Amino acid sequence: MKQDTIDHPPGEMEVTCHIFANDRDVSDIGMTGNIA
């Protein structure tokens, strides 16, 4: 899901990253959050 989040702007990226991570895995939030 990293590509999907990267495609979105920084502002929306954070929101989507959190929502996606919560829906998929809490571990994802840390990985995506670091990239954001």
- Which amino acid makes up residue 4? D
What is the C-alpha separation between 9 and 27, in angstroms, rounded?
22
**pLDDT at position 6:** 58
Tokens of 26: 């809490």
pLDDT, tens only, 3-34 = 555 565 666 556 555 555 555 555 555 555 55
Contacts of 18 (CB under 8 A, 6+ apart): 29, 33
pTM score, whole prediction: 0.15
